[in-house]
Amino acid sequence: MAPVDVSRRSDRVRVSSGRHAPTWTYRPDSSLESDGTRNARTDDRQRRNRPNQTMTENGYGTEMSDDEIGRYLYERGVGVLSLAREEVAYGIPVSYGYDGDHDRCLLDLGFGPESKKERFLETTRRSCLTVYEWQSPTDWHSVVATGDVNELGDDIAYDLEERYYEHARDVELSVFGVPPEDVDLQWYELSIDEVSGRTSR
């Protein structure tokens, strides 16, 4: 896999929670209501389905470096894009290709007739892409990239299209529930100007 160029990020804002992260341990019998009484149903479900598992010493994990964030975005290829319209939020699963040279994520979005996704994109200037994975309480990653989302048009350069398909996870057009010929594909980009990432490692 090609190395990730993360040297052009001088204008990007690093975001940090800035709060103290407590140490905590998950135990299957710690199912108390806010008034201190035990939630019997939750307690029973936890006993049946979950073993004792201890979180990392820092419950919020550790902050990822720019290199780690760039590499993770480069390798992952899928996430959730958050849109908004008239104070209503709408999150959509997307496949993307990360362009580290220009700090952006390329999106090849499909729209069916009367697409809700398209309506929300028309009213969303700034969006955030959440990319994460969870394997266990001691093995997880999470990156949130925020920026302007804009349509690129159909004349996207070949090298950008190639970069997208090199990293994105492709899906069949049948997922839209309409005939493939009725799906309108459009190129978009999320220009990243704020990013944060945390990991259990």
| pLDDT in the model for residue 112 | 79
46 and 100 share a domain?
no
Instruction: Write down the mean pLDDT value for the chain.
Output: 74
129 and 104 share a domain?
yes
157 and 68 share a domain?
yes
26 and 101 share a domain?
no
67 and 155 share a domain?
yes
- The answer as to whether 190 is a domain residue is yes
For 114-150, how does the pLDDT look when each residue is reduced to its tens digit (9 = 90+)? 888 889 998 888 999 999 999 998 899 999 999 999 9
- The answer as to whether 8 is a domain residue is no
65 and 146 share a domain?
yes
- The answer as to whether 15 is a domain residue is no
- The answer as to whether 76 is a domain residue is yes
30 and 71 share a domain?
no
For 96-113, how does the pLDDT look when each residue is reduced to its tens digit (9 = 90+)? 999 888 899 998 888 878
Q: Indicate the pTM of the whole model.
A: 0.65
- Domain assignment of residue 68, given as a range: 61-199
Classified as helix, coil or strand, 186 is strand
| CB crowding 22-59: b at 16 or more within 10 Å, else e | eeeeeebeebeeeeeeeeeeeeeebeeeeeeeebbeee
Residue where one domain finishes, among candidates 32, 54, 76: 54
| pLDDT in the model for residue 147 | 96
Task: Identify residue 196 by its one-letter amino acid code.
Answer: S
27 and 102 share a domain?
no
Q: Count how many domains the chain has.
A: 2
Q: What is the CATH number of the domain that holds 181?
A: 2.30.110.10
Phi first, then psi: what are they for 128, rounded to 5°? Answer: -130, 145
| H-only helix segments in 18-104 | 40-49, 66-76
91 and 185 share a domain?
yes
31 and 77 share a domain?
no
Residue where one domain finishes, among candidates 54, 69, 103: 54
71 and 48 share a domain?
no
**If pLDDT is split at 50, 70 and 90, which confidence band does 193 have?**
very high
- The answer as to whether 4 is a domain residue is no
- The answer as to whether 2 is a domain residue is no
135 and 67 share a domain?
yes
Given a cut of 70, is residue 61 above it in pLDDT? yes
